[in-house]
């Protein structure tokens, strides 16, 4: 599959061959859904906790008489019925992560890239680099490309000036090719890949 390559100024700069095994698949929503759930669950903190009955420091002495008090026969006051008592079945510190096979994760990334091609939301540029870290200049260039909400994937490393300029633009993410992932690709409207990023992703996913 051939695709035009553009410069940051939206001028044509040749073409690139996209591997059909990476960019030409029929997107499967079930695979993408599994991967997004996997990523969001993995990054969830899971550090919520409350004091349960065993964590509350209170006397274990019976709070009233067994009989004759006219009330229920309660034991100590650390139970959840009383003020100051522990929480019953409260949240505990745990990991929310679950397993997903490595082959499924790689498949999901291929389907995410293919989904952007199918919907016409993929742009390939020759390079993501700037001489000066000027946000206004980068914003103007992206508007020429039709990118107001997008993810830009560079090569093995991100140009420092480009990263600094993009930092002040809302709804814009910049990642190295190794950091490309399904969630970030799908959450942005446009996907912008450099030629080096295309080569890196094809080598990673073939």
Q: Note the pLDDT tens digit of each residue in 44-87.
A: 999 999 999 989 998 888 888 889 988 888 888 899 989 899 99
106-118 pLDDT tens trace = 999 999 999 999 9
Check pLDDT > 90 for residue 141: yes
Buried b vs exposed e over 34-59: b needs ≥16 C-beta within 10 Å?
bbbebbeeeeeeeeeeeebeeebeee
pLDDT for 123 equals 96
**Beta pairing partners, 172:** 150
pLDDT for 37 equals 98
State the CATH class of domain 2-45+97-205: alpha beta
List where CATH 3.40.1370.10 sits in the chain.
Answer: 2-45+97-205
25-44 pLDDT tens trace = 999 999 999 999 999 999 99
pTM of the entire structure?
Answer: 0.84
pLDDT for 64 equals 85
Q: Identify the DSSP state of 78.
A: T
| Sheet bearing 2-6, strands edge to edge | 12-17, 2-6, 122-125, 190-194, 150-153, 172-175
């Amino acid at each position: 599959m051939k695709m035009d390559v553009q410069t940051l100024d939206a001028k044509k700069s040749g073409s690139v061959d996209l591997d059909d095994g990476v960019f030409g698949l029929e997107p499967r929503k079930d695979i993408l859904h599994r991967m997004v759930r996997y990523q969001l669950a993995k990054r969830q903190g899971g550090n919520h906790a409350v004091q349960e009955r065993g964590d509350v420091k209170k006397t274990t002495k019976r709070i009233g008489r067994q009989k004759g008090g006219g009330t229920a026969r309660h034991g100590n006051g650390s139970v959840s019925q009383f003020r100051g008592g522990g929480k019953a079945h409260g949240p505990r510190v745990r990991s929310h992560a679950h397993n997903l096979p490595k082959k499924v994760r790689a498949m999901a990334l291929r389907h995410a890239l293919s989904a952007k091609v199918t919907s016409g939301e993929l742009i390939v540029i020759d390079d993501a680099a700037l001489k000066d870290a000027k946000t206004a200049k980068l914003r103007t260039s992206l508007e020429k490309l039709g990118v107001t909400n997008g993810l830009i994937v560079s090569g093995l490393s991100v140009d420092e000036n480009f990263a600094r300029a993009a930092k002040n633009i809302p709804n814009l993410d910049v990642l190295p090719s190794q950091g490309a992932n399904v969630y970030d690709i799908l959450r942005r409207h446009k996907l912008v890949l450099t030629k080096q990023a295309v080569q890196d992703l094809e080598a990673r996913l073939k």
